[in-house]
Amino acid sequence: MTERPPRRRRRPEEAEREILDAAAELLRERPSHEVTVKAVMERTTLSRKSFYVYFRDRHELIARLVAPLREEIDARAAEARAAHDDVRDWARAVFLDVARVYTRHGQLLRALRESSERDEDARRVWREFTDPPIRETAALIRAETKAGRGRALDADRTARALITMNLGCFFEQLIGRPRTDPKPLVETLVEIWMRTIYGSSDPAAG
C-alpha cells in the first residue's frame, strides 16, 4: 500500500483541490467503481470524514471534475455564436475549441466515458456532460428546418449521432497526441455536419 502523506492543516480551497486532484489521478488509473471515497482520501493528507465537508457523494465529486470543462466549452461556444453569423464559421470555431479541450483533458474524459458503461455515477455525469450539446444541436436542426434552410430530419436522433461522431473522433485522433493539429479533423467534421443538416457543404445553398 502506498504510504499516506502526512496530514497538515489546509485552507478550504486547498483541501477541496487536493481531493479533486486525487480523484482525477485515480480515475485515470482505475475503473470508476474503484474510485471510492476511501481510495480517494488515501491519496490525500486529509481524513476520510473531510470528504463530506466538500462533497455530498461520489456523483458530486465526479461531476465537479468535469464541470469546468463543460463551462469552458459552453463559454467558447457562446463567444463563437456572437462572433460568427455564418453557421459554418460558427461550427468551425466551436469544434476547434472543443478539440483543444479534448487534447488537454481527454484522458480524464475518456476514463469517464469508459467508466460510464459500468458505473451508474459515472454514467450520470457523462450524460450531464454530453446532453447539453445534443439538445443544442437538435434545437439548431429544428430551427434551420423551420426556416427552410435545413433538411427534414429527426432532430434528436441526428443531433445525438453528430455529437457522438465528434466525440469518437476526438477520442481516437486527439487524445495522447498533443502535437496533432486538430484543424484537418475539424474541417472534416464541419463538412459532414453541413451536408447532413443542409444537404450541401454550403448552408446558403440550401
For the chain (206 residues), the mean pLDDT of every run of 10, in chain order, is 56 90 88 86 92 91 90 91 91 94 88 86 92 96 95 97 96 88 97 95 68
What pLDDT shows up at residue 99?
94
The predicted pLDDT at position 186 comes to: 97
pLDDT for res 9? 62
Containing 154, the helix (H) or strand (E) segment is none
- Report how far residue 90's alpha carbon sits from residue 81's, in angstroms, rounded to the nearest whole number: 6
Q: State how far the Cα of 114 lies from the Cα of 106, in Å rounded to an integer.
A: 12
Render 54-100 in DSSP notation, one character per residue: H-SSHHHHHHHHHHHHHHHHHHHHHHHHHH-SSHHHHHHHHHHHHHH
Q: What is the pLDDT of residue 119?
A: 86
Amino acid 108: pLDDT: 86
How far lies 6's CA from each of 42, 131, 144, 147, 148, in Å?
11, 41, 59, 63, 65
User: Do 73 and 93 contact (CB within 8 A), yes or no?
Assistant: no
Residue 121, all three cell numbers: 455515477
Q: Which pLDDT score is estimated for 3?
A: 56
What does pTM read for this prediction? 0.83
Q: What is the pLDDT, as a whole number, of residue 5?
A: 55
State residue 206's pLDDT score: 54
> How far is 192 from 188, CA to CA, in rounded Å?
6
